[in-house]
Amino acid sequence: MHFRSMERKDQDSVMAFIENNSSKKRSLSEWDWEFNLYNQLQQVFVVAEENNDIIGTQALLPIPLIRAGKTILSAKSEETLVHQEQRGKNVFSQMYALVFAKAISNGIQMIWGFTGANKPFSKIGFSFFDKGLSNYWYVTSVTLAYKQYCLHNGQKTLKGILKRLIYLLILSFIKIKGVLSFPGSKNIKYHIALLNEFDAVTDQLKNSISRDLPDLITVDRDSQFMNWRVGQNPYYDHQVVGLYHISELVGYAVLAMSEHSWILDIMDIVLRPDHFEHGLPALVDELQMFATKQKWGCINFQLMPCSNEYSVKVLAGVKKAGFFRSIGGMQFILKILNNNIKHLYQDVNKWYVTGIMTEGIVHRKQ
């Protein structure tokens, strides 16, 4: 058994291995977007081989984090896969031994991700947190959402009928909750405009938020990262809805849309803290009106419900607008490689985590 870094010549065989042993299917352009178009020099991709056959993969996607206005390099664990016949043979831990060494060499300070595979990650030193990435739903149209669900779940068995009835009841409950929620406060000082790209203005916004909340840990949404993550993303169509106070950009929301879905995804909400009281209701209200006009059945917003002030206020705002948390979620894992910064980043309650940290990888067109 042999462990080494993936090379360019391995791309076809690695793509075939992943497709044959998981549900992930990518085109060449989708693969290039994920692994070849951003921070390629810091990327880590390890393969396990036996008799010249790929039997395991483990990748790290470089992701910048920001805290107190300073950026450090982290990485998201991806493509964790071991061939079924090789499981239980220490393949995973041996791959990660090489991954850790290469990550440190590439300047990666910590590794994080989302998984349900607790046992193998805990064995190699990852910390697990009860808080995970949760889904918050708002129903714009019970009829439309139910019809779309039935198109994809049209089994005529008793089990299929019961599933559809349960889904209809859930949709109705969420819709009623939304109707009874408090409406967003209108404020003529706010207006909405679409952002065509991330630039120096959005960079200034994320820097000001980080300076105002120095303990907050989140993705560094600089223009280079966001234009790759959002603007070039091949899995979804996007709109970035900017919130302006008089003439100043004070926040935005990233929307992801797929023609194959009846769900409008809010992948990210960014807002200056001094505009939570009136700006957040104005922004969420605009998103709800947009979804209704465009005939989306549901809106989904992903957020990790941490106890820091920023996460709490965002969550309070969407709940007040009628969003409802569904059961389940992906567990968050973290391993800090640089012990000198462990005391600053280990407390997950200081993190602000939204769907922008998973989009295009966990969420993809079907």
pLDDT of residue 283: 96
Distance CA 220, CA 297 (A): 32
Do 193 and 234 reside in the same domain of the chain?
A: yes
pLDDT of residue 31: 92
Q: Which residue has the tokens 């992903």?
A: 302
Do 238 and 311 reside in the same domain of the chain?
A: yes
pLDDT of residue 155: 58
pLDDT of residue 362: 44
Domain that holds residue 17: 2-108
Do 140 and 180 reside in the same domain of the chain?
A: yes
CATH of the domain at 86: 3.40.630.30
| Domain count within the chain | 2
pLDDT of residue 132: 84
Low-confidence ranges of the chain (pLDDT < 50): 361-366
Dump pLDDT digits (tens) for 169-219: 665 665 565 555 555 555 668 999 999 999 999 999 999 999 999 999 999
Asked, for residue 361, whether it belongs to a domain, the answer is: no
Do 151 and 219 reside in the same domain of the chain?
A: yes
pLDDT of residue 263: 86
Asked, for residue 335, whether it belongs to a domain, the answer is: no
Tokens linked to 276: 């939570």
pTM of the model: 0.88
Give every CB contact of residue 75 below 8 A, 6+ residues apart in sequence: 42, 44, 60, 61, 62, 63, 103, 108, 110, 111, 112
pLDDT of residue 213: 97
Asked, for residue 124, whether it belongs to a domain, the answer is: no
pLDDT of residue 299: 92
Asked, for residue 167, whether it belongs to a domain, the answer is: yes
HEC letters along 252-314: EEEEEECCCCCEEEEEEEEECHHHHHHHHHHHHHHHHHHHHHCCCCEEEEEECCCCCHHHHHH
